[in-house]
A = this chain, B = another copy of it.
Amino acid sequence: MSNIDTMSVNAIRILSADGIQKAKSGHPGLPLGCAAAAYELWANHMNHNPADPQWPNRDRFILSGGHGSMLLYSLLHLFGYGCLSKEDLMNFRQLNSKTPGHPEYGHTVGVEATTGPLGAGMGMAVGMAMAEAHLAAVFNKENYPVVDHYTYVLGGDGCMMEGISSEAFSLAGTLGLSKLIVLYDSNQISIEGNTDIAFTENVQKRMEAFGFQTITVEDGNDLEAIGKAIEEAKADTERPSFITIKTQIGYGCPAKQGKASAHGEPLGEENVLAMKENLGWPSMEPFYVPEEVYDHYRKIADAKAETEAAWQVMFAAYCQEYPEMEALWNTYHDPKAGEKAVEACPDFWSKGEKAEATRNLSGQVLNRIKTYMPNLIGGSADLAPSNKTNMADMGDFSKENRLGRNLHFGVRELAMTAMGNGMMLHGGLRAYVATFFVFSDYTKPMARLSAIMGVPLTYVFTHDSIGVGEDGPTHEPIEQLAMLRALPNFHVFRPCDETETEAAWYAALTSEKTPTALVLTRQNLTPMPGSSREALKGGYIIDDCQGTPDVILIASGSEVELAVKAKALLTDRKVRVVSMPCMDLFEEQSDEYKESVLPKAVRKRVAVEALSDFGWGKYVGLDGACVCMTGFGASGPAKQLFDHFGFTAEHVAETVRSL
């Protein structure tokens, strides 16, 4: 290892340790242990251009062990990504800094994904590799490999213990995503101690079982061995690769290396100094990096800029030779593509006339829009026939057919959601994922990441209530709607008929920064005469009385019809029915609009929804009531369940009278 390489690796260690020490908070173990591997990858193998972090054909790098964020920040700073100055590193973990505790997508340029929840990055990386494979198949022409990059992901024991990584890697192996390269920081240490206490499995063998090439680097500081391993990984064009890099947590800090205590707390001032001495660092001054090291990184960055420049030349020629592909490329990368597709689609809005399940209506929308939105891609966690998420004639994405737009995720809801996020983060694609609504529980940790990152992934959740029927309580959502409504920056739509289903898809496909879930019925629903695109306001009057109402019924989805029927029974009252397909969007409306729909003076309010009443208090207040589920469902024919649990027009009417 040449001296400048050693210095460059140690610069990462020094900056990381200093940043964490100054913040008095953070995780030095990973940055110190993985500094060499990360340097070798970023300097000598990865195609990226610090001057243009958004270059579409850059190799992707995801730090799945997001707690090691100082590794990433140090790399971005040293390679000259304009976003991160030394002052930014000094503000690590401070409010409003560009260097938060865990890497945040959309907050810090060069961060490809928000990570922190362990394993999440593994799932997102698989999604990115899927996106690359699909886009390459769509766009590449002979001599024009305009989409041709690797996806690298670095994570540790925790990432490998989490089930999401098994889910994601099993599919990656099935799909033969050979341009996915996983770097496994194997340091044998977790927070509670040596990994022997909970993790003695043969990780490499598991990865081989999934269909990965596996490679071992015995010494995590051996740049040559790391480089060789990366080249071997690239050379396998059939299988994704998994490189086990044996590292020492907290390497370089004599008092801490190899110990659990190196993981998640500052090294301590004395230990930082001891580390600098141990590594032969030329200065004890915090954040000191020799100019020659900066020069070295700058030279590398300049060379990388040339790689992009060459690609730009190729891309320009490609656009000239294939103008139709240039147009397609622009469509794929147009944030307004959803809106344009809906405009172009002559029958997107199609007022339904017969009773139909909203899951079927959703499937019809999808199949009407699919040709107008060629970058729409998605699938289900092995429930496509039930979720109605198949796009007819669009093919199945597989090892053999990279053009397929229907994805088969297998029974892996959590990884599916991470992969969906990863596909969207990659750029160029609009993705959707699907499962039964009750299993949104499994998607939750990654749905939260969609919301935090502002990734407008679409979720198709069918079988949305006790309407599931015979499958019983394990399959009947109750609290899931409240769970997702409570999630910030996440729109949950529960449409009542075709018009509202179309509105929900419209909202989903045109959203730029907010994920959208469609919550759909298994059973048929009657089209509502009053339904309209006002649904895009989240809540609106769907059936009104003359003058000021003395009762307001508020409902969503399958219960809107019930509310309308209850209104018909309440002939002695002035009843307004409000359809509330999306509470989140309703909350975003002006106070005036909200008041016009739900006048504060009207206190007799009843919410009707065959799910938990949790969250309805906001609209029914202290004087209203809910006709909702108060416990779990049951197994039986759906119609009987609705009656059994009180979802009848009569019971709603009685509830109104009892106020």
A interface residue numbers (CB < 8 A to B): 23, 25-26, 66-67, 93-97, 100-102, 104, 114-119, 157-159, 161-167, 170-171, 173-174, 190-193, 196-206, 208-211, 380, 382-386, 396, 398, 408-412, 414-415, 438-439, 441-442, 444-445, 448-449, 451-452, 469-475, 478-479, 482-483, 485-489, 600, 603, 612, 614-623, 629-632, 634-637, 640-641, 644
Contacts and interface: CB of A to CB of B under 8 A. Distances in A.
A209 B205 contact: yes
Which 8 residue pairs across A and B have the least CB separation, nearest first? Answer: A163-B163, A617-B618, A95-B636, A116-B474, A100-B635, A198-B410, A617-B617, A166-B166
A624 to B, nearest CB: 9
Contact of A200 (B26, B161, B211, B483): B211
Total copies of the chain: 2
A261 to B, nearest CB: 10
Given A191-B386, A471-B116, A95 B617 contact: no
Nearest to A94: B636
A163 B161 contact: no
Contact of A634 (B25, B95, B190, B211): B95
A474 B201 CA distance: 28
B167 A162 contact: yes
A520 B445 CA distance: 20
Given A166-B166, A474-B102, A635 B93 contact: yes
A299 to B, nearest CB: 33
A95 B637 contact: yes
A473 B452 contact: yes
Given A479-B483, A486-B614, 18 more contacts: A25-B469, A93-B636, A94-B637, A95-B641, A100-B635, A102-B472, A114-B474, A115-B474, A161-B410, A161-B412, A162-B412, A163-B167, A174-B199, A191-B385, A192-B385, A192-B408, A199-B410, A617-B619
Contacts of A93: 470, 472, 635-636
A199 B209 CA distance: 11
Contact of A161 (B411, B441, B483, B487): B411
B198 A408 contact: yes
A472 B104 contact: yes
Contacts of A629: 488
B190 A640 contact: no
Nearest to A634: B95
A473 B104 contact: yes
Contacts of A479: 448, 483, 486-488
Nearest to A26: B470
Contacts of A196: 174
B192 A382 contact: yes
A358 to B, nearest CB: 20
16 contacts: A25-B470, A94-B635, A95-B640, A96-B636, A101-B471, A116-B475, A163-B165, A163-B167, A191-B382, A198-B412, A200-B211, A482-B614, A488-B612, A614-B615, A615-B615, A616-B617
A474 B449 contact: yes
A452 B190 CA distance: 33
B600 A622 contact: yes
A51 to B, nearest CB: 27
Q: Which of A115, A165, A414, A439 has the most CB of B within 10 A?
A: A414
Contacts of A412: 161-163, 198
A162 B163 contact: yes
Contacts of A157: 411
Contacts of A204: 209
A174 B158 contact: no
A620 B617 CA distance: 8
B478 A488 contact: yes
A433 to B, nearest CB: 14
A26 B116 CA distance: 41
A617 B612 contact: no
Contacts of A208: 202, 205, 209
Contact of A486 (B473, B475, B482, B603): B482
Contact of A102 (B23, B190, B414, B475): B475
A409 B209 contact: no
Nearest to A622: B621
A100 B634 contact: yes
A415 B198 CA distance: 13
A209 B206 contact: yes
Contacts of A117: 438-439, 442, 474
A603 B622 contact: yes
B622 A488 contact: no
Nearest to A193: B408
Contacts of A632: 451-452, 488-489
A114 to B, nearest CB: 6
Contacts of A203: 209
Contacts of A104: 472-473, 635
A198 B382 contact: yes
A170 B201 contact: yes
Contact of A116 (B383, B445, B472, B623): B472
A209 B209 contact: yes
Nearest to A396: B197
A414 B163 contact: yes
Contacts of A488: 478-479, 612, 629-632
A101 B470 contact: yes
Given A104-B473, A200-B173, A445 B441 contact: yes
Nearest to A620: B617
A309 B619 CA distance: 61
Contacts of A210: 201, 206
Nearest to A643: B95
